[in-house]
């Protein structure tokens, strides 16, 4: 890219915003990059509160490709961010269970994943039982297990590394809150800041505000169907062997994986209860007693005995339209670039998203993974994405 005096302002300085800033420099952007982040402690951002896991098991080719890029970057973190870089990536598979009668759907999805380079074992119940003998398989029809490119890591460490790398490349982080967007002639011309009262002018504005992405869009007069939805994670101790234990996704939606001395687990609330007030980070304790525990104890009898160590809650940046990300320019405001709405898989897709945002701004096109199907245009056309593997 030729030298430019353009300015990109990114709203939200957690994992997505920081990867966008980092990849802008990687793609040769020489102008100013400013990241506005209101919470310098990052304590409530979804990145800090996530289960920090990555899977290649999706239905849509671009989602699979984004995961494969992310897993590759996590595996080679030192090559990207230096010898001291460590995100504790445990490369261990997701085991996704399907009910009897749904075998074909899971098998078809796994075949697409394998064609695109994912490494997935398709297992019948007996094979699941042989590999994971502590599991009750009597009512399952199929299991798919990622033998590579899946696992878990330290999302906080990842965010700090990318943030540090962005700053080393001359990206400026501004501790302030964006409270207004100036729009003129179908473009965002400036951002209003709460604390300093300043106005930042911009050539590009990136919406990396996570669960607050819908609120940010409203400042530009746009309706973006992204809202916070509370998700609770429980840290438990249980008499189970952790070695070889997968990230288990039960067909009921309950999940569990090893973490530190024990395990973490969770489940989404039922749809009619899935509302939350912004600022409410109180864990939904009832979910453990009422749903997660009985469902998981059915699947893993040893979980009849468990001890809760702690619980925490954070927000999914829920895309109420189709539970998939919005990436790319908004059709009505062409310099407003969306990078939000991941609905539970934003950390794993953060490297690919940052790179896609950068390619769009620097080259005007996607050069690696074509994520154009994730653009907001699908809302205008009323064509939701059918991504079968969402949680
Ligand atoms: C319990 C739980 C489990 C999860 N598990 C996984 C998982 O296993 N794998 C996975 O990939 N994803 C998971 N997720 C989802 C993942 O955490 C998010 O998709 C991801 O962190 C989104 O990153 P982000 O940078 O867009 O958002 P955030 O990390 O929320 O960052 C957005 C930032 O924008 C800032 N901001 C917002 N509005 C403004 C404003 N007006 N002005 C200035 N700053 C602003 C906020 O302060 C915040 O720091 C999970 C989430 C939860 C809650």
pLDDT for residue 116:
96
Taking the CA of residue 347 as reference, the ligand 1 atom at the shortest distance is: 11
The whole-angstrom separation of Cα 230 and Cα 75 is: 30
Q: Residues of CATH 3.50.50.60 domain(s) within the chain?
A: 7-52+155-225+321-380
pLDDT for residue 2:
66
Taking the CA of residue 343 as reference, the ligand 1 atom at the shortest distance is: 19
- The pLDDT tens digits of the residues spanning 172-191 come to 999 999 999 999 999 999 99
* Domain 91-149+228-319 of CATH type 3.30.9.10: yes
Residue of minimum CA distance from atom 16 in ligand 1: 346
The whole-angstrom separation of Cα 19 and Cα 318 is: 20
| Full DSSP string of 63-94 | HHHHHHHHHHHHHTHHHHH-TT-----B---E
Q: Has residue 1 got a pLDDT over 80?
A: no
Q: Residues of CATH 3.30.9.10 domain(s) within the chain?
A: 91-149+228-319
Contact 137, 129 (CB under 8 A): yes
Q: Has residue 390 got a pLDDT over 80?
A: no
Q: Which residues of 15-54 are buried (b: 16+ CB within 10 A; e: fewer)?
A: bbbbbbbbbbbbbebebbbbbbbbeeebebbbbbbbbbbb
Residue of minimum CA distance from atom 18 in ligand 1: 346
Phi, psi values for residue 293, rounded to 5°: -60, -55
The whole-angstrom separation of Cα 228 and Cα 389 is: 20
Q: What is the mean pLDDT of residues 220-246?
A: 96
The whole-angstrom separation of Cα 273 and Cα 305 is: 28
CB-ligand 1 contact for 60 (6 Å cutoff): no
> In angstroms, how far is CA 92 from the centroid of its own chain?
18
CATH superfamily of 7-52+155-225+321-380: FAD/NAD(P)-binding domain (3.50.50.60)
Q: What is the mean pLDDT of residues 80-96?
A: 98
Q: Tokens 């990206």: give the residue.
A: 171
Span from the CA of 183 to the centroid of ligand 1 (angstroms) = 26
CA distances from 289 to 52, 205, 266, 297 (A): 24, 44, 11, 11
Q: What is the mean pLDDT of residues 353-370?
A: 98
């Amino acid at each position: 890219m030729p030298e430019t005096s353009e300015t990109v302002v990114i709203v939200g300085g957690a994992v997505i915003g920081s990867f966008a800033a980092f990849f802008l420099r990687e793609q040769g952007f020489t102008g100013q990059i400013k990241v506005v982040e209101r919470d310098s402690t990052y304590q409530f951002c979804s990145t800090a509160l996530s289960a920090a896991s990555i899977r290649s098991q999706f239905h849509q080719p671009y989602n699979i490709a984004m995961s494969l890029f992310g897993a590759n970057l996590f595996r080679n973190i030192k090559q990207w961010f230096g010898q001291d870089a460590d995100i504790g990536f445990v490369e261990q598979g997701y085991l996704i269970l399907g009910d009897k009668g749904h075998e074909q759907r899971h098998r078809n999805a796994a075949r697409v994943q394998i064609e695109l380079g994912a490494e997935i074992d398709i297992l019948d119940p007996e094979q699941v039982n042989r590999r994971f003998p502590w599991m009750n398989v009597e009512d399952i029809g199929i299991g798919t297990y990622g033998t590579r490119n899946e696992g878990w890591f330290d999302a906080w460490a990842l965010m700090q590394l990318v943030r540090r790398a962005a700053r080393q490349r001359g990206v400026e982080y501004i501790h302030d809150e964006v409270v207004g967007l100036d729009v003129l002639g179908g473009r965002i011309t400036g951002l209003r800041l709460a604390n300093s009262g300043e106005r930042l002018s911009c050539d590009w504005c990136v919406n990396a505000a996570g669960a607050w992405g819908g609120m940010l869009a409203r400042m530009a007069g746009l309706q973006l169907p992204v809202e916070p939805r509370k998700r609770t994670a429980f840290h438990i101790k249980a008499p189970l062997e952790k070695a070889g234990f997968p990230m288990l996704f039960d067909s009921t939606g309950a999940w569990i994986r090893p973490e530190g001395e024990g395990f973490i687990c969770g489940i989404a609330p039922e749809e009619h209860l899935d509302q939350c007030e912004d600022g409410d980070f109180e864990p939904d304790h009832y979910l453990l007693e009422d749903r997660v525990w009985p469902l998981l104890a059915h699947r893993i009898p040893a979980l009849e005995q468990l001890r809760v160590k702690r619980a925490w809650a954070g927000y999914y940046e829920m895309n109420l339209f189709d539970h998939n990300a919005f990436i790319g320019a908004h059709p009505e405001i062409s310099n407003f670039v969306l990078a939000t709405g991941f609905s539970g898989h934003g950390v794993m897709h953060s490297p690919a998203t940052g790179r896609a945002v950068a390619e769009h701004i620097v080259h005007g096109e996607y050069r690696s993974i074509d994520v154009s199907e994730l653009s907001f245009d699908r809302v205008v056309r009323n064509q939701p994405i059918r991504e079968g593997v969402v949680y």
